[in-house]
Amino acid sequence: MSQLPDTSGLLILPRLRIQNANAISSPLTHGFPAMSAFVGLMWALQRKLAPEVASGLRLHSVGVICHDHDEQVTEDGYTRAFRLTRNPVDKDGTTAAIVEEGRIHLDITLVFGVEGDLVNEADAERAALAKQIADVVAQLRVAGGSVLPPARLGRWSQPQLLPVPEDPSDRGAWFRALRRRWLPGYALVCRDDLLPSAAAASDSGANAVEAWLKLSRLNWSPPAEADPKTGKYEWQPDRKPGWIVPIPVGYGVLAEYPAGAVANARDPSVPFRFVESLYSIGQWIGPHRLQSFRELLWYADHDPSSGLYRVRNDYAPVASVN
């Protein structure tokens, strides 16, 4: 299994306000764009950089801290429905088929893991470069949404390109100062470790789906005994190791075709794959609980032999302080 590439610097775009990002992240999940959408943004951004910048700065991973979010859904009742804008009108004036598109407004900080010579430039050059890149991002779609100008200037909004301190013993204090700037908020990390192991999953097929669903919900169980004072049974929900959520983590191949073999492909010059979404478990944790930037960053992984295209994250849960 692959791991995070060597990282010599971080590019930080703080407090981006994104309007109308995709809230439906896969056929089975909603509430935050898929991490693969941010990885896709990273690739689009790399391609937009001027050649002289691109050659000295390679973006290879991305982390996201969510400071605030406002999903456009109904609030009442047991289930949520999406609040849509008006129906489109078809050529005959009738209402066109409505395709439900979930929307969410986000206030996020993006942190890109980078490598390349440009991270060693002087402060002023790096600041100018970070600003230039932030201007490019402002004109891209971020997870399908538009980038709005910052609500408040000054205090949280300056983009930064920072070298990772060379001496590993300096990195702890350096990162602690950085992560405090991302408060308040929650960073998404991967918790593959909470899923049943691959071997167990292959033995008991559908139970893996059931185990995943169990992690995705509140499971209430009755106590063994009644409260001695009231005589009542106080039901409790199960305790999870933090705020864990089901997330899409990429795609698995269903059928492969060489370039040009599939009609109506967006690009006839690259290999084509029919795929399905794959899922795992993620955790939202306060950035002040991250031990290193390595725990924040997500990167793309591709395994041709099994037809796997997924995003990975090297977060390692520390033993609980209990």
Partner 1 sequence: MSDNNLKTASVLAFERKLDPSDALFFSGNWSERTASKAWPGIALNEKSVRGTISNRLKTKDQDPTKLDAAIENPNLQTVDVAALPADADTLKVRFTLRVLGGTGTPSACNDAAYRQKLTATVATYVETHGFTELARRYAINLANGRFLWRNRIGAEQVEVQIARLIDGKADKTWTFDALALSLRGFDIDGAASASLDELAALIAGGLAGRHHLLLEISAFVRVGAGQEVFPSQELILDRGRGDKSKTLYHVNNVAGIHSQKLGNAIRTIDTWYPEAAELGPIAAEPYGSVTTQGKAYRQPKAKADFYTLLDNWMLKDKMPDKGNQHYVMAVLVRGGVFGEAG
Partner 2 sequence: MTGTALDRRLQFQQAIARFLQERRDAKLEKLQADDPKRNELIAQFVPETWLDDAARRVGQIQAVTHSLKAIHPDARGSNLYRPPDQLPVRSEIGSHCLGQDFAGDVVGNAAALDVYKFLRVVVDERSLLDWMLAGDVDLKAAMSPVSAVAEAWTEAFVGLVQPRGAVATHTRGKQLFWLTGGNAADDAGFHLLAPLYASSLAHAVYLSIQETRFGELAKAARQAKREQLPHDDGYADYPNLAVQKLGGTKPQNISQLNSERRGDNYLLASLPPRWKSEAVKPPLGIESVFPRFARRDEVRRSLRALALFLASNPDPTMETRDRVDELIDAIAEELASFAAELHQALTPGWSADDRCVLPEEECLWLDPERGDPERADSDPDFHGRWLRMEWPEKIGKRFGNWLNSRLDEKLPVGSVEQRQWSRMLLLDEEWAGQLHEQRSRLNAPHYIPTRGAS
- Among residues 5 and 88, whose Cβ is nearest to partner 1? 88
Which residues, 6 or more positions from 188, have their beta carbon under 8 angstroms from its beta carbon? 32, 35, 63, 64, 66, 247, 282, 283, 284, 298, 313
| Residue from the set 8, 132, 146, 158 that interacts with partner 2 by CB under 8 A | 158
256 strand-pairing partners: 273
* Residue 307 interaction partner, one of partner 1, partner 2, none, beta carbon < 5-8 Å per kind: partner 2
Distance of alpha carbon 38 from alpha carbon 251, whole angstroms: 15
250 binds, among partner 2, partner 1, none (CB under 5 to 8 A by kind): partner 2
- The Cα 6–Cα 115 span in angstroms is 7
Considering only residues 55 through 74, tell me which ones interact with partner 1, judged by CB under 8 A: 70, 72, 74
Residue 94 contacts which entry, partner 2, partner 1, none (Cβ below 5-8 A, type-dependent): partner 1
Query: Which residues inside 262-291 make contact with partner 2, applying CB under 8 A?
Result: 262-267, 269-280, 282, 284, 286, 288-289
Residue 270 partner contact from partner 1, partner 2, none using kind-dependent CB cut-offs of 5 to 8 Å: partner 2
- Residue 149 CB burial class (10 angstroms; 0-12, 13-18, ≥19): exposed
User: Are residues 113 and 59 in contact, defined by beta-carbon separation less than 8 angstroms?
Assistant: yes
Q: What are phi and psi of 95, to 5 degrees?
A: -70, 130
Distance CA 216, CA 245 (A): 6
Is 270 a binding residue for partner 1 by CB under 8 A? The answer is no
C-beta closer to partner 1: residue 76 or 167:
76
Q: Which stretch binds partner 2 (CB under 8 A): 76-84, 109-117, 132-140, 142-150?
A: 76-84
Find the part of the chain contacting partner 1 (CB under 8 A) among 7-15, 58-66, 92-100, 233-241.
Answer: 92-100
DSSP symbol at 205 = H
- Report in angstroms how near the CB of residue 198 gets to partner 2 at its nearest: 4
| Residue 180 CB, nearest approach to partner 1 (Å) | 24
**Residue 192, beta-bridge partner list:** none
Which amino acid type is present at position 76?
D
Name the binder of 31 from partner 2, partner 1, none, CB < 5-8 A by kind. partner 2
Near partner 1 by CB under 8 A, which window of 21-29, 87-95, 172-180, 238-246? Answer: 87-95
Quote the DSSP letter at residue 119: G
Instruction: Classify each residue of 70-95 as buried b or exposed e, where b means 16 or more C-beta atoms within 10 Å of its C-beta.
Output: ebbbeeeeeebebeeeeeeeeeeeee
Q: Which residues bind partner 1 (CB under 8 A)?
A: 19-20, 70, 72, 74, 76-77, 81-95, 98, 100, 105, 135, 138-139, 141, 146, 148-150, 153, 157, 263-268
